[in-house]
Amino acid sequence: MAVITLTINDELVSGREGDTLLTLMREKGIEVPTLCHLDGLSPRGGCRLCLVEVQGSNRLVPACITPAQEGMSIVTHSERLIKYRRMILELLFSERNHICAVCVMNGRCELQAEAAAIGMDHVRYDYLTPQLPIDASHQRFAVDHNRCILCTRCVRVCDEVEGAHTWDVMGRGVNSRVITDLNQPWGTSKSCTSCGKCVQVCPTGALHLKGSTVAEMRKDRDFLRWILDGREKKQWILRNGGQESGR
């Protein structure tokens, strides 16, 4: 793979041709906020928090889906970018019913953490306060649509890693919702394997363990990389009477 050279925040860096800007920036220790992106899942470019400036273009581009190219000059943090990121976060909070004080993920929520990091202490937009349901029909898990930010991590991990494709998205715009099995109650799903991957990758309290109380829910997103690395090394193939080939 060819090596390319580009400039990020006035610093000359090298990377591999075909890598995204986000991959390259994280390798160099340059952090930009993300919510829809998660290592191990296909990039989506939906939340737009990772927008960066490219010299010579008036258009901001999402770092998670933009390929790094030779000679690029990138700015990752500027007054303009901070303004846009704050606006996006405020819109996310105003679109649903995010009441952090009574959320199972209070103190560990990625949305809450990004808002705190950027210094967001109020929302300038009118709250939509939609009447959204909570589906607790599953034996182990529940989905609270009031806290969903439509990052589609659950959809992608269920499809790309578990292979069940239980989750999908219904509707358009502010009326969009994640659904299971063509909008059937989660507990009646015939395709769900109850693996819990969707719950663990959810950045907010939208998907959670039933019975969790305020600030009690903990999620482990590192498991995804562990699973994918094991598959790549063929550690999960059973041979010789059930012995793992990787042992």
- Is pLDDT above 90 for 122? yes
Is the domain of 228 the same as that of 142? yes
Statement to judge: residues 42 and 154 lie in one domain: no
Whether residue 85 has pLDDT greater than 80: yes
Q: Which domain holds residue 133?
A: 87-232
Mean pLDDT of the chain: 94
What is the pLDDT, as a whole number, of residue 247?
34
- Residue at 222 is within a domain: yes
67 shares its domain with 100: no
Q: Is residue 241 part of a domain?
A: no
Q: With 0-12 CB in 10 A as exposed, 13-18 as middle and 19+ as buried, what is 91? A: middle
- Sequential DSSP letters for 101-136: GG-TTTTT-HHHHHHHHTT-----SPP------EE-
Residue 242 is assigned to a structural domain of this protein:
no
Domain end among 77, 107, 125: 77
Structural domain total, the chain: 2
> What pLDDT shows up at residue 245?
44
Whether residue 66 has pLDDT greater than 50: yes
106-110, 206-210, 219-223: range with lowest mean pLDDT: 219-223
Main-chain phi, psi angles of 13, to 5 degrees: -130, 160
Q: Are residues 113 and 56 in the same domain?
A: no
* This prediction's pTM: 0.92
CATH number, domain with residue 39: 3.10.20.740
Instruction: Record the tokens describing residue 204, joined without a space.
Output: 């907010």
pLDDT level of residue 246 (50, 70, 90 thresholds): very low
Confidence of residue 241 (pLDDT cuts 50, 70, 90): low
Phi-psi region of 239 (alpha: psi -120 to 50; beta: other; left: phi over 0): beta
Which token pair is 182? 């063509």
Give the Cα separation of 102 and 217 in Å (integer).
Answer: 12
Instruction: Report the candidate in 213, 92, 195 with the shortest Cα–Cα distance to residue 148.
Output: 92
Question: Three-state DSSP class for 82?
Answer: helix
**pLDDT at res. 234:** 87
In a domain, 52, yes or no: yes
Q: What is the mean pLDDT of residues 60-78?
A: 97
Cβ contact 197:157 at 8 Å = yes
pLDDT average, residue stretch 177-193: 97
How many percent of the chain have pLDDT more than 90?
91
Pair 52, 147 in one domain:
no
